[in-house]
Each structure stands twice: as structure tokens, then as C-alpha cells.
Amino acid sequence: AQSVSQHNHHVILSEAASLELGCNYSYGGTVNLFWYVQYPGQHLQLLLKYFSGDPLVKGIKGFEAEFIKSKFSFNLRKPSVQWSDTAEYFCAVMPISSGSARQLTFGSGTQLTVLP
């Protein structure tokens, strides 16, 4: 079965600092990749996704992620964080296989705290 690792459990940054959150997955086949964000007390919202094509994908709120197939990684980046980016970030992987519904496997999440 596939697994997703987010090695940073809690990241604390000051405003305007650059952000990179790591995500590695274990699955040998083709995958779709996602980053979701969960603001305090709220539900998961899609930040960005990679299905195919350009491995550098841009999402909402200035976030981007790069898919590096050889490293099985899909790290999330933002050049300058804001206090409002304080949230928990989840990486998720969906193996592509036959069947009409596909399952997401989530990482354990990274809590980002941005200090004003």
C-alpha cells in the first residue's frame, strides 16, 4: 500500500520568510498529487494539484509545488509567508489504477505557524 511522509510536523516562521514543506510518497506507479490546507476550525481546502504535464504547479494564495518523480517528492513552497497562512497542510497521493473511483492517502500533516 502507498504511504505519504511529511517529515516536518510543526514549522514556525516569521512573516515574509520563505516556506518549503516536504512531502514524499511511496508508490511505484503513476500518481496524482495534492496539497490541502486546513485553517483552524475549518475543513480541508484544495491548495493545488498535479495530474500531469509541467511538474511545477501553481496553486492559490501564492503557493506552488514541484513534482520530482525520481525523488518521489512533491514539496510545497511559498516565497513569502503571511500570518494568515497559519494552518495545517496535508499532502495527499492518489495512485492511478483502473476503476472509476480513486482513493487519497494523506500524510500526517504539517502545522505551520507564522509569527507576525
Q: Determine the distance from the C-alpha atom of residue 76 to the mean position of all C-alpha atoms in its chain, rounded to a whole number.
A: 5
Separation between Cα atoms, residue 76 and residue 116, nearest integer Å = 21
Among positions 19, 63, 65, 107, the unique one binding another protein when judged by CB under 8 A: 107
Separation between Cα atoms, residue 6 and residue 8, nearest integer Å = 6
Tell me: does residue 3 bind another protein (CB under 8 A): no
Least spacing, CB of residue 116 vs another protein, in Å: 26
Among positions 53, 54, 101, 116, the unique one binding another protein when judged by CB under 8 A: 101
Tell me: does residue 39 bind another protein (CB under 8 A): no
- The position carrying cell 500533516 is 109
With residues binned 3-state (H G I as helix, E B as strand, rest as coil), the percentages for the chain, rounded to 5, are 10, 50, 40
Span interacting with another protein, options 12-20, 62-70, 78-86, 98-106, rule CB under 8 A: 98-106
For residue 109, how many C-alpha atoms fall within 13 Å in the half-sphere facing its CB?
12
Site string for another protein, 41-70 (x = CB under 8 A): -xxxxx--x-x-------------------
What residues line the site for another protein (CB under 8 A)? Answer: 32, 34, 36, 42-46, 49, 51, 90, 94, 99-109
